[in-house]
Structure 1
Amino acid sequence: MDVVIREIQAQDKPQWRILWNGYNQFYESKVSDSVTDKTWLRMLNVQSSINGRVAVVNDEVVGFAHIVLHEGTWELSTLCYLEDLFVAPEMRGHGIARQLIQSLIDEGKTQGWSRLYWHTRENNPARKLYDQFADVEDFVLYRMNL
């Protein structure tokens, strides 16, 4: 199976939207259409710190990675937060998520990023893959909606 990992493009929106809906369903979250639309526009805006990568098989978008590039107080160079990672259920088991993560690692090395990091739910089955890339830290996430 040939998988192409590339930056998200405007024509990807219909296929991305199906995956995005599946991603939010997996996490049992409800993201409003206005937030979804703004997220999409941010990923297409070269001035935004939010970027998207897609995995394409046979001209079909089958997975995505959303990243946020930002500065930090503990590093001199850019940090990359992998905020969202998703592969269509019928395409899982083919190494697509691995390729998406590896492409970010390769890009980060080329671009001089200091760190790639992400978090996930404790019971996420994808942790079997994540554990092959990095060690789990002992930090606890606190979140307060404002």
Structure 2
Amino acid sequence: MSIDVRPVADGDFFAWLDLYEKYAEFYETPLTDQKALLLWSWLTAPDHEEDGLVAIEGERLVGLAHFREFARPLEGDRGLFLDDLYVADENRGKGVGHALIEAVRQRAVERGLGVVQWITAHDNRTAQNVYDSVASRTSWVTYEIDLPKAGV
């Protein structure tokens, strides 16, 4: 069966949520109803920076990708950052991840952007095998500073 990739739509919420909950569980990150609803509101708002795609096999959602534009000052252009990529366990190895990445890449090309970037966990070897087949691994190291939440 072929994989179709399209933007998220209002009727996708519950199937999308099932996939996103599994994504959060994989990364051992608590996903509250409030966080899920906030992200969904971003994905379905035409003027929000966060955008989303879903991969469909038959009539079933089997993967998701969330991405956004970002500025690249030294390059004098913009890029797309792939925030989240997830494929249902039973659909791995069937080209779903490749199809989602290609759809994100195509959007970047259509917008005239200079790059598509993303990160993954250092021990996520399965994902890295896919990523190594479609992109170049960089030498950059990622750092974070956790900040207190507003109102906490």
Same fold (TM over 0.5): yes
Q: Segments of 4+ in structure 1 off by > 2 A?
A: 74-78
Q: Distance in 2 between matches of 1:99 and 1:105?
A: 10
The letter of the residue matching 1:129 is V
CA shift, 1:76, in A, is: 3.4
Q: Is the 8 A contact 1:105 1:116 kept in 2?
A: yes
Q: Distance in 2 between matches of 1:72 and 1:50?
A: 17
Give the match for residue 78 of structure 1: 78
SS at match of 2:84: strand
CA deviation vs aligned residue, 1:24-59 (integer Å, no higher than 9, x gap): 111111132212111110010111010000001111
CA deviation vs aligned residue, 1:53-76 (integer Å, no higher than 9, x gap): 000111111100000112231233
- How many percent of aligned residue pairs carry the same amino acid? 28
SS at match of 1:126: helix
What TM-score comes out, normalization by structure 1 length? 0.95
Give the match for residue 150 of structure 2: none
Q: Distance in 2 between matches of 1:31 and 1:14?
A: 14
Give the match for residue 48 of structure 1: 48
Q: Distance in 1 between matches of 2:75 and 2:65?
A: 23
CA deviation vs aligned residue, 1:80-123 (integer Å, no higher than 9, x gap): 00000001101111101001101111221122111100000111
SS at match of 1:70: strand
Matches within 5 A, 1:110-129: 110-124=110-124, 125-129=126-130
Q: Is the 8 A contact 1:4 1:56 kept in 2?
A: yes
Q: Is the 8 A contact 1:49 1:70 kept in 2?
A: no
Q: Distance in 1 between matches of 2:14 and 2:136?
A: 35
Structure 2 gaps, min length 5: 148-152
| Backbone CA RMSD of aligned residues | 1.1
Structure 1 gaps, min length 5: none
